[in-house]
Chain A
Amino acid sequence: MSTTELHVHNPVEDLLRQDRVPTIWCPGCGIGTTVNSFAHALLGQQINLQKTAIVSGIGCSGRVSGYMNLDSFHTTHGRAIPFATGLKLANPELTVIVYSGDGDLTSIGGNHLIHAARRNMDIMVVCVNNMIYAMTGGQAAATTPGASNSTTTPYGAFEPELNMAQLVDAAGACFVARWTAFHVMQLERTMAKALKKKGFRFIEILSPCPTYYQRKNNMGDALAAMVDYKKRSKIKNGCPTWETALEPGGEIVVGEFVDREREDYLTRMRRQLGSHYSEFPPQPEEQESEGCEKEC
């Protein structure tokens, strides 16, 4: 191996918890590929990593928080966003990133997603969309493209899939983008931009799941999925999100769709509270009581 003479070093390694690698991910699972773009975006922006927290829900994608050498929180299924919201409100100087799966963020956690976008909560949400509940065995999620086969839809799903970009745009997100695991460099640039922006930022990444989504739908292995993304993707920055629906086998519209300014939750709260605002609100004094005060 050629590493020794030059003392070369992969900078991504500094952001990984070495004792946790190799990952549990299947061969060719795209989640790890997205982590490279994320790590490079973090390093390139000179973000203070001591003040950066990553929060995940449950799922294969939810494992990301555990592999990153940051302040990592692996929360319950669907609840990464409310957890991150609390973290941000209690400690506003943190850069808070939610990294989780499509089932976690848009299916079981869908309502949290809508309301964090509506509030313009100052967090960045990265959603790895493998179009299925992967970790639990390939059940259909709200993002599973209509007609796709899955463990719970052996005759194909009878529901159309959700367009996350359109949903969070309508709810009020200030930054919305979509890439695929094939677009490693574009994804890094978009993540770098989103890391520096204030407000609710949402990045969807289509990612191969060879073990469930690909296999159930005879779509070949992970490499076939990546080559397919390359072929079907069309970059349309600024595209209205209602024109970005993902149709099975159709064009994959990728790019940065929304980038607007809107007052975020904390700024608005402080403005409305005016002189009533205090960084450390007085806590109600604990009442000292010895035993039961009332005669009962």
Chain B
Amino acid sequence: MPKGSVAITTERCKGCGFCVEFCPTHVLELSNAFNAKGYHPPHMLNAEKCSGCNLCGMYCPDFAIFGYKYPDQKAQKGEQGQ
């Protein structure tokens, strides 16, 4: 059960790769999909490793991603961002 997840606004992403490179647990990768502007937004490769630390959000120059923590223990929905 991951401690957190990310929310991605794919249409804002410009595919710089900062979030992928600087995520401490290598949760993300740039997907093969295109957004409307032709960039490859990130998606979660290792969702279970996400701590919700929001470093990806701090690095994203386009406010296209941010991390958040799940409310403690509870909310055991087994849900993950995708």
Q: Which residues of A contact B (CB under 8 A)?
A: 1-3, 5-6, 8, 10, 12-13, 16, 21-23, 25-33, 35-37, 40, 182, 184-185, 188, 221-223, 226-227
Contact = CB atoms under 8 A, between A and B. Distances in A.
A135 B71 CA distance: 43
Contacts of A30: 61
B7 interface: yes
A182 B57 CA distance: 13
Q: 6 closest Cβ contacts across the A-B interface?
A: A2-B81, A32-B61, A27-B14, A28-B16, A10-B66, A184-B58
A36 B17 CA distance: 16
Contacts of B28: none
Contacts of B15: 27
Given A32-B60, A227-B21, A10 B7 contact: yes
28 contacts: A1-B9, A1-B81, A2-B5, A2-B6, A2-B7, A2-B82, A6-B71, A8-B68, A12-B63, A16-B63, A21-B62, A22-B12, A25-B61, A26-B14, A27-B15, A32-B60, A33-B59, A33-B60, A36-B57, A36-B58, A36-B59, A36-B60, A40-B58, A184-B55, A222-B18, A223-B16, A223-B17, A226-B22
A21 B63 contact: yes
Interface in B51-82: 55, 57-63, 66, 68, 70-71, 75, 77, 79-82
Contacts of B10: 1
B8 interface: yes
Nearest to A18: B63
B59 A184 contact: yes
Interface of A is mostly: helix
A6 B68 contact: yes
A214 B40 CA distance: 21
Most chain A beta carbons < 10 A, residue from B5, B7, B14, B16: B16
Nearest to B4: A8
A28 B7 contact: no
A29 B62 CA distance: 9
Interface string B25-50: 00000000000000100000000000
Given A12-B66, A22-B12, A226-B18, A2 B79 contact: yes
Contacts of B63: 10, 12-13, 16, 21, 32, 36
Given A2-B7, A30-B61, A32-B61, A223 B66 contact: no
B18 to A, nearest CB: 6
Contacts of B12: 21-22
B57 A12 contact: yes
A247 B37 CA distance: 37
A36 B21 CA distance: 17
A40 B55 CA distance: 12
A226 B17 CA distance: 11
Given A6-B70, A32-B62, 17 more contacts: A1-B9, A1-B10, A2-B7, A2-B79, A2-B80, A3-B7, A5-B77, A6-B75, A10-B7, A10-B66, A22-B11, A27-B16, A33-B18, A33-B59, A35-B61, A222-B16, A226-B18
A31 B61 CA distance: 7
A22 B62 contact: yes
Contacts of B60: 32-33, 36
